[in-house]
Amino acid sequence: MRLIKKIKMHFDYYTIKSVLYDKYFSSFLKIRRYSGYFTKRAIRDVKYELVEQPAAIIIYPDLIEEQTVKFITLNTEDNFGQQLFFRNSKIGKIKHGFQFAETFMSILRTVDLVCRQNSGVNNVQLFDNIGNRILEEHSLLNLKSIESVEFHGNKNVEILDLWFANNYLLRFRINVIATPGSEIAAFKCFQLLGDGTVCLFDDKPVADGSIHFVDVELRNQFSPLILTCVGLDGSMSAMAFIPFPSLARCGAHYGELLAIDMQSGDQYPVIQTLRSYSDCLIKTISDANYDSTPKKIILDATNSTGAERIFEKDTLSWLKNLGLSISLAQTEDAPISDRLRYINKLIENDVSQDKCLDSPHVTLQMLADSIPTLQSVFEHPNQSCKVTYGSFILCGNDDGKPVSVVIPPSAIANESMYEILEQFPLFLQEAKQNSVSSSFRKEKLLSIRYLDLQGWSDEKFYAPVPLDLGLSSSKFLSLQQHAVTIILNGIVDFAILEITLETLCLQQGNNIFNVIIITLAENVMDLERVKSRYNFKEFNFIVSESRMKIDYYLKLAASSVEHGLILFVTDHCLFHNPNSVLGLAELAIDPMVISVSPILVGSFRIGKTTKKGILSSGSVQESRANQPQTHSICPFGLIAKLPPSVWPVAAGNTTVFMVRATDWNEYGSFGFDPTNTHRLTTPFWSNTTASGRIHVVTSKLSISLPDSNELTAMPEVSQEAGAFPLISDSMKTSTQVVMLAS
Amino acid sequence: MKLCVVIPSDEYVERAGARIRYKRIEDNLQKVGVYLEFAVVKEITKINHDAYLFSKCFDTTALMVAKLASESGKLVGVDIFDDYFSQKDDTRFQAVRFWLDSSMKYLDFFLCATPYMKKLLENNPYEIPVHVMNDPCEPVDFEVVSKLTRKKIVAVGRNRVLDVVWFGMGDNPHFPVGLRDLVAFSGELRKIEDNGLKVNLEILTNSRALTVATLESLAKIPVSYRISIWSEVGEKALLNRSHVAFLPVSCQNFSIAKSLNRAITAVCAANQVLSAGFPLYDRMTPFVYRNAEDLCVDFSRGEPKLNPNTISDLGTVLKNTGDLNVETESLSNFLRNLFVLKKAENKNRKNNRSPVFLVQGVKSSKVKRALLRRAAIYTVSSPVSKMSPKSDIRFTWNESGDGLRLRVSMRAAQYLNPDVSSKGKRVLRLFKPSYLIFETSDIPLLKVSGFGLRLSRSPGALLLLHACLMPAILNILEYLFPEVQCEVSEQWQFPWLSPIEGQFCKRRNL
pLDDT tens digits along A326-377: 999 876 556 678 888 899 988 886 555 554 455 667 899 999 999 999 999 8
Contact flag A578-B198 (C-beta cutoff 8 Å): no
Give the model's pLDDT for residue B148: 97
Give the model's pLDDT for residue A16: 32
Cα(A463)–Cα(A704) distance, rounded to whole angstroms? 10
The three-class DSSP label of residue B202 is strand
Mutation target vs B (from A44, A499, A599, A707; most B CBs, 10 A cutoff): A499
CB-based contact A244:A253 (threshold 8 Å): yes
Among A454, A463, A533, select the one facing B91 at the smallest CB separation: A463
| pLDDT above 80 (res A138) | no
* A54 prior amide bond cis, ω within 30: yes
Cα(A474)–Cα(A471) distance, rounded to whole angstroms? 8
Cα(B305)–Cα(A653) distance, rounded to whole angstroms? 63
Cα(A247)–Cα(A374) distance, rounded to whole angstroms? 9
Give the model's pLDDT for residue A742: 55
* Burial class of B402 by CB neighbour count within 10 A (0 to 12, 13 to 18, 19+): middle
Chain B residues in contact with A577 (beta carbon < 8 A) = 463-464
Give me the phi and psi of A602, to 5 degrees please.
175, -175
The CB density around residue A497, as the number of other CB atoms within 10 Å, is 24
| Separation in Å, CA A361 to CA A64, A65, A290, A292, B308 | 45, 44, 10, 7, 55
Looking at chain B, the whole-number percentage of residues with pLDDT higher than 90 is 69
A342–chain B nearest CA distance, Å:
7
Give the model's pLDDT for residue B230: 94
Return the bridge partners of B487, or none: B358
Q: How do residues B484-494 score in pLDDT, each as one tens digit? A: 989 999 888 78
pLDDT tier for residue B501 given thresholds of 50, 70 and 90: low
The CB density around residue B216, as the number of other CB atoms within 10 Å, is 15
CB of A338 within 8 Å of a chain B CB? The answer is yes
CB of A336 within 8 Å of a chain B CB? The answer is no
More confident call, A147 vs B468: B468
| pLDDT above 80 (res A268) | no
The CB density around residue B191, as the number of other CB atoms within 10 Å, is 20
The CB density around residue A177, as the number of other CB atoms within 10 Å, is 12
Give the model's pLDDT for residue A383: 63
Mutation target vs A (from B458, B474, B503; most A CBs, 10 A cutoff): B458
Look at A52-66, A424-438, B17-31, B301-315 and tell me which has the smallest mean pLDDT: A52-66
Give the model's pLDDT for residue B268: 95
Query: What residue in A sits closest to B462 (Cα-Cα)?
Result: A576
| pLDDT above 90 (res B447) | yes
Q: How do residues B191-230 score in pLDDT, each as one tens digit? A: 998 888 999 999 999 999 999 889 999 999 999 999 999 9
Return the bridge partners of A371, or none: A448
CB of B279 within 8 Å of a chain A CB? The answer is yes
| pLDDT above 90 (res A202) | no
Query: What residue in A sits closest to B86 (Cα-Cα)?
Result: A337
Among B196, B300, B495, select the one facing A466 at the smallest CB separation: B495
pLDDT tier for residue B467 given thresholds of 50, 70 and 90: confident
| Separation in Å, CA A122 to CA A116, A117, A126, A308, B452 | 12, 8, 9, 49, 96
The CB density around residue B254, as the number of other CB atoms within 10 Å, is 18
Q: How do residues A513-538 score in pLDDT, each as one tens digit? A: 999 999 999 999 999 988 888 889 99
Closest CA to A571 of A625, A636, A523, A634: A523
The CB density around residue B123, as the number of other CB atoms within 10 Å, is 10
Contact flag A305-B193 (C-beta cutoff 8 Å): no
Instruction: State the average pLDDT over residues A295-299.
Output: 91
Cα(A476)–Cα(A483) distance, rounded to whole angstroms? 12
* Burial class of A64 by CB neighbour count within 10 A (0 to 12, 13 to 18, 19+): middle
Give me the phi and psi of B451, to 5 degrees please.
-55, -40
Give the model's pLDDT for residue A133: 34
Cα(B507)–Cα(A664) distance, rounded to whole angstroms? 45
CA A494 to mean position of chain CA atoms:
49
Q: Cα A549–A552–A553 angle (5° rounding)? A: 90
CB of B449 within 8 Å of a chain A CB? The answer is yes
| Separation in Å, CA B421 to CA B392, B418, B471 | 15, 5, 22
CA A11 to mean position of chain CA atoms:
43
| pLDDT above 90 (res B116) | yes
Give the model's pLDDT for residue A691: 79
Q: How do residues B205-216 score in pLDDT, each as one tens digit? A: 999 999 988 999
Cα(A52)–Cα(B155) distance, rounded to whole angstroms? 44
What's the per-residue H, E or C state across A437-478? CEEEEEEEEEEEEEECCCCCCHHHHHCCCCCCCCCCHHHHHH
Instruction: State the average pLDDT over residues A307-314.
Output: 93
CB-based contact B371:B68 (threshold 8 Å): yes
Give the model's pLDDT for residue B172: 92
List the beta strands (DSSP E) in A270-429: 294-300, 325-328, 362-367, 370-372, 387-396, 402-407, 426-429
Q: How do residues A478-501 score in pLDDT, each as one tens digit? A: 777 788 999 999 888 888 888 999
Mutation target vs B (from A532, A533, A571; most B CBs, 10 A cutoff): A533
How high is the ipTM of this complex?
A: 0.89
Cα(A340)–Cα(A342) distance, rounded to whole angstroms? 5
Q: What's the length of chain A?
A: 742
| Separation in Å, CA A624 to CA A6, A404, A739, A740 | 64, 9, 5, 6
Give me the phi and psi of B197, to 5 degrees please.
-115, 140
| pLDDT above 60 (res B333) | yes
Look at A32-36, A199-203, A233-237, A302-306 and tell me which has the smallest mean pLDDT: A32-36
Chain B residues in contact with A12 (beta carbon < 8 A) = 300-301
Look at A66-70, A316-320, A325-329, A632-636 and tell me which has the smallest mean pLDDT: A66-70
Give the model's pLDDT for residue B493: 79
pLDDT tier for residue B22 given thresholds of 50, 70 and 90: very high
Average pLDDT, chain B: 90
The contacts of residue A735 (CB under 8 Å, 6+ apart) are: A406, A407, A408, A409, A620, A621, A636, A647, A648, A649
Instruction: State the average pLDDT over residues A257-268.
Output: 78
Give me the phi and psi of A144, to 5 degrees please.
-65, -25
Between A270-287 and A98-116, two packed helices, what is the crossing angle to 10 degrees? 110
CB of A522 within 8 Å of a chain B CB? The answer is no
Chain A residues in contact with B455 (beta carbon < 8 A) = 495, 499, 710
Q: How do residues A597-607 score in pLDDT, each as one tens digit? A: 999 998 877 77
User: Which segment, A212-226, B105-119, B457-471, is predicted with the most confidence on average?
Assistant: B105-119
Give the model's pLDDT for residue A468: 63
Closest CA to A460 of B256, B92, B11, B436: B92
Q: How do residues A674-686 score in pLDDT, each as one tens digit? A: 766 667 778 888 8
Look at A310-319, A570-579, A707-716 and tell me which has the smallest mean pLDDT: A707-716
pLDDT tier for residue A225 given thresholds of 50, 70 and 90: confident
| pLDDT above 70 (res B32) | yes
For β-strands A676-681 and A671-673, DSSP reports them as: antiparallel
| pLDDT above 50 (res B386) | yes
The contacts of residue B212 (CB under 8 Å, 6+ apart) are: none
Q: Which of residues 98-117 of B touch A (CB under 8 A)?
A: 116
Average pLDDT, chain A: 72
Give the model's pLDDT for residue B290: 95
| pLDDT above 60 (res A697) | yes
A319–chain B nearest CA distance, Å:
17
Q: How do residues B145-202 score in pLDDT, each as one tens digit? A: 999 999 999 999 999 999 999 999 999 988 999 999 999 999 999 999 888 899 999 9
H-run or E-run covering B30: helix B24-31
Give the model's pLDDT for residue A358: 57
More confident call, A124 vs A385: A385
Instruction: State the average pLDDT over residues A423-437.
Output: 70
pLDDT tier for residue A178 given thresholds of 50, 70 and 90: confident
Interface contacts (A, B; CB < 8 Å): 198
Cα(A645)–Cα(A627) distance, rounded to whole angstroms? 29
Give the model's pLDDT for residue A688: 84
pTM beyond 0.90, yes or no: no
Looking at chain A, the whole-number percentage of residues with pLDDT higher than 70 is 64
Closest CA to B375 of B40, B75, B47, B8: B47
pLDDT tier for residue A96 given thresholds of 50, 70 and 90: very low
Instruction: State the average pLDDT over residues A119-132.
Output: 29
Look at A430-434, B37-41, B155-159, B354-358 and tell me which has the smallest mean pLDDT: A430-434
Give the model's pLDDT for residue B329: 94
Cα(A106)–Cα(A22) distance, rounded to whole angstroms? 11
Give the model's pLDDT for residue A199: 64
Closest CA to B237 of B163, B305, B298, B185: B163
Give the model's pLDDT for residue A124: 28
Contact flag B463-A463 (C-beta cutoff 8 Å): yes
Q: Is the Cα torsion angle B296, B300, B303, B306 positive or negative in sign?
A: positive
Q: Residue ranges of the alpha helices (H) in B104-141?
A: 115-122
Q: How do residues B57-99 score in pLDDT, each as one tens digit? A: 999 999 999 999 999 999 999 999 999 988 877 878 888 888 9
Q: How do residues B335-374 score in pLDDT, each as one tens digit? A: 999 999 998 888 877 767 789 999 999 888 888 888 888 8
The contacts of residue A92 (CB under 8 Å, 6+ apart) are: none
| pLDDT above 90 (res B408) | yes
Q: Which of residues 423-462 of A touch B (CB under 8 A)?
A: 452, 454, 457-460, 462
The three-class DSSP label of residue A241 is strand
Give the model's pLDDT for residue A7: 36
CB of A714 within 8 Å of a chain B CB? The answer is no
Count of helix runs (H) and strand runs (E) in chain A: 18, 36
Give the model's pLDDT for residue B337: 95
Query: What residue in B sits closest to A42 (Cα-Cα)?
Result: B301
Mutation target vs B (from A40, A43, A168, A527; most B CBs, 10 A cutoff): A168
| Separation in Å, CA A296 to CA A343, A435, A582 | 16, 20, 38
| pLDDT above 50 (res B13) | yes
